[in-house]
Every structure is written in C-alpha cells, then in structure tokens.
Amino acid sequence: MKAIGLRSLSIVLLVGTLWGCAGKQEPARFEVTAVEPGKQDKEIEALVAPYKAEVDKLRLPIGRSSVEMSREKTDSPIGSWVADALRAQTEVATGRKVDVLMLNGGGIRNSLPKGDISYMTINNILPFENTVVLYEYSGTQLQTMAELLASRRGADPISGLTIDATADYKLNRALVNGEPIDPNRRYTFATISFLAQGNSGFGILTKDPHVDTGLLMRDLVADHVRAETKQGRTIDMPAEPYRYRFGGKTVKEIQ
C-alpha cells in the first residue's frame, strides 16, 4: 500500500473512478495517512495520468445527433432508436439476420442530446453490463411474445416488430418488418441478458434455448454510431418512432 497525504485523497478517489471507466476489474488500494502533500501528490498524479488519458478518449466525439431524444420508460423515439441501432449492429457483429429485437425501457437511463455523441454519451444512456442474447423462435412463439408485449402497455422498446392492440391492451395483430407473423416460419429474436434471466416479468425467456453472444449492448450501439458517421450520416429520429398502437393511439397520444 502507498501512504498519501490528506490533500491527495480526492485524487485517489478519482483514480478509482478512472480505473473503472478504463475497464479495470480491481481498484488500486491505498492507505490514507496524515502526511503533508508534496511528493506523494506528484506520484498520485502520475498514477492517474494513464487512466485519465483513456477516459478522455471516451469523451471524444464518435458521431452527431441532429435531434434530442428524451429519456422515456415506455415506447418512445429514444427506445426505438436504441433498439434499431442494437439490432443493426448485432447483425453486423454476428453475421446473422435479426428479425426482432426487444429491450426494457427501464434500461435506458438518460436522454440522447442534440449535437456531439461520445462513447460516454452512450454509457450514460446504457450504463448496465448487458449483453445481446439470441433465440430462434417459431412464429407461434413470437406471437405469444407479441401478446405479452401488448399486455405490458408499450413498456418495452422493440425493433422489427409493430404491435396493434385494443384500448385494453389485447393484441389485435403483430407485424414483423411489415408482414404478419407466419406460424410456419422461424425467426431470430434478440434481447439482452438482463431480460433473458427472467427479470422485469420475462420469466418466459428462461424456458427457451438461447445463445448469449457476449457482445456488450453499449459497445454495439456505440459501434453503430461510428458506422453511421463513417457513412456521412448523423443520428436522426427513427422513421417510425412509436411501434405500439392501443385503440389506434400511440403511448404518447394516450398519455
């Protein structure tokens, strides 16, 4: 352990934060003693420097958003954008077409601001260590999932799927990329590890075979932003920002 001055304590705390942001698993350990600042401060600053440099990189712009998308816990533009971005980049990363992707609105923890987007921007929106999980569903299984989603009143962002339900949240029909669900077809259904473990009322997901890709949700969304930037595109409002209809109305219109 290293003994440090009391004035160095704030720097030590910063080291712990930077250590975590830089992806280190074990924090540095220090013993705080009442030593006057001096040489110890310089030693701590030198220790901090490489981690600070890594965190500064995470704050560099990787793209731009033409609009602000406010954080919501229900069907919303930001939820639809995150779901679309994650579905698109999962296809790139796995080389496998993903028909439908579902998230939980509570996992989106911040708004997407208009202007520059950095990795830290995405980290603030998606702070949890969720990975992408893949299922192979029959049309019947996907229909059952659509019925569950309708009953949850639009709480779960979706991509590739639109849901039309009654005003009392009973499914009328579900479309996959604009087409009715085919009971004889197999679909690739993607979600995140948190939900695959049965959390947030999705115990149904624990009963079916699935593959955890190990791909971190946050990294894939950031990679999607980078890919859009490389193509000369900014992040815009999703073409279809609301994917649920209840009695013909979006969640926003009902509210």
Q: What is the pLDDT of residues 31-81, one digit of tens each?
A: 445 555 666 677 787 777 777 777 778 889 999 999 999 998 889 999 999
pTM of the predicted model over 0.85: no
Residues 100 and 159 sit within 8 Å (Cβ to Cβ): yes
- CB-CB neighbours of 61 under 10 Å: 13
Residue 8 reports pLDDT greater than 50: no
134-186 per-position pLDDT tens digit: 999 999 999 999 999 999 999 999 999 999 999 999 999 999 999 999 999 99
- CA 7 to CA 36: how far, in whole Å? 8
Q: In the chain, where are the structural domains located?
A: 2-58, 64-254
Higher pLDDT, 227 or 22: 227
Q: What is the pLDDT of residue 38?
A: 65
| CATH code, residues 64-254 | 3.90.780.10
Q: What is the pLDDT of residue 15?
A: 45
Residue 29 reports pLDDT greater than 80: no
- CB-CB neighbours of 26 under 10 Å: 6
Q: What is the pLDDT of residue 19?
A: 45
Radius of gyration of the chain (CA): 22
Q: What is the pLDDT of residue 32?
A: 46
> 238 by DSSP, 3-state: which?
coil
Q: Which amino acid is at 177?
A: N
pLDDT bracket for residue 21 (50, 70, 90)? low
Residue 129 reports pLDDT greater than 80: yes
Q: What is the pLDDT of residue 225?
A: 98
Measured torsion, CA atoms of residues 142, 131, 84, 203, in degrees rounded to the nearest 10: 30
| 165 DSSP 8-state letter | E
Higher pLDDT, 84 or 252: 84
What percent of the chain is predicted at pLDDT more than 70? 84
Q: What is the pLDDT of residue 155?
A: 96
Query: What value does the mean pLDDT of the chain take?
Result: 88
| 231 DSSP 8-state letter | T
Residue 16 reports pLDDT greater than 60: no
83-117 per-position pLDDT tens digit: 999 999 999 999 999 999 999 999 999 999 999 99
